[in-house]
Chain A
Amino acid sequence: MKYLARAGRNLWLASAFGIAVAAAAVPASAATDKAEVVIPAPPPGKGQIVFYRTGTIMGAAMGCAVNENGQKISSLGAGRYFILVTEPGRHEYMVKSEAKDFLALEVEPDETQYAMCKIKMGMMAGRPDLQPSTREAFVKAGTDRPVDDADMGPGPGAMRAAERVAAQAAAAPAAPTN
């Protein structure tokens, strides 16, 4: 009897995990009926990276803090993005919550790249995974909510709301990216 109770509980846990995992594999929001987010071109001679996170259920309550050289640039909540304007060259970014992950990118002048943070299942808590991405994946994910200024860190480069709105307004039609 005790065995059956335990088996039933395990079945319930398996079902719960199965739902969570399936949800994690497919972005929760589709971009089909939304206006595409305008990503302005970087300032001349600079490069930029769009960091984003899909709006999945997995780890939705966890932040994904993006850091460079030990300085926090911004936290990414589920379904949020921010634009980091930076100098060309190799940059290494770290995301951390209960665990860490690293991603190095080659930033080149006048170009835009994309990086996506996902929260993956861990043994005790969700684990952030920062991975290279593309403009197409960003659009497909339907991520359209910018990070609030209050979630920005002291690290330089992440566009605040006023800068972003001004740049997006000036970038009509959308700047070519990716």
Chain B
Amino acid sequence: MPKLTPVTLQIDGALGSRISKTFDRFPIHLYEAIVIDGRTLVPAGASGWGEVVHAKKAGGSGAAGELVLAARVLTVDGRELHLRSLRLGGSGENHNQAATTLAAVAGLAGAVGGWLMKGSEVDVPSGTIAGAKVAEDFAVAESAVTPQAPPAVLVDTKVQSEGTKQ
């Protein structure tokens, strides 16, 4: 499996600028099987983890909450498949943002004495769909490869994640 192969993940825990801490790990799993040339290299369901690179609660002066997430690893055949380029609400294709970076919009408009105002928090609900890429070439054992029976069903992940603040 070549590096930069797109993968679609699901985040299996609630994350947010208020509840997450920098360096927290969070569970993920492969939402769609990785299929290349009609062969399933990694079936859906493989589990792994991501990491909170940066989390900051919303603060005074309308400072918005901040959350930076990274996908790290899926476990495949007992080995670590390293990931990169996490992006919420995508399939991993057609983007090259390094890690998902989120900042809520500050709620300052019309505030007098704005330093008393608190900005919005960022929330990433459990079950959020995310795209990522394979970070490096990864050899899959031939015995683990299965031909794909029915044609792949493409899921419109964008619609499912539109509620996420960005």
Contact = CB atoms under 8 A, between A and B. Distances in A.
Interface residues of B, number: 31
A29 interface: no
Q: Most chain-B Cβ atoms within 10 A of its Cβ — which of A105, A114, A132, A177?
A: A132
A121 B61 CA distance: 6
B66 A134 contact: no
Given A113-B101, A134-B97, A176-B96, A103 B109 contact: no
Interface string B15-59: 000000010000000000000000000000000000001101000
Interface stretch (B73-81, B111-119, B145-153): B111-119
B8 interface: no
A123 B99 contact: no
B71 to A, nearest CB: 10
B97 A113 contact: yes
A120 B115 CA distance: 8
Contact of A105 (B54, B102, B108, B111): B54
B63 interface: yes
Given A17-B114, A108-B85, A113 B53 contact: no
Nearest to A91: B53
A102 B57 CA distance: 12
A14 B110 CA distance: 10
B97 A25 contact: no
A90 to B, nearest CB: 6
Interface string A82-125: 00000000100000000000111111101111100000111100
Given A18-B112, A21-B112, A132 B66 contact: yes
Top 6 A-B pairs, shortest CB-CB distance: A132-B101, A120-B61, A108-B98, A106-B99, A104-B54, A111-B98
Interface of B: 22, 53-54, 56, 61-64, 66, 68, 70, 84-85, 95-99, 101-103, 106, 108-115, 166
Interface of A: 14, 17-18, 21-22, 24-25, 47, 90, 102-108, 110-114, 120-123, 127, 129, 131-135, 176-178
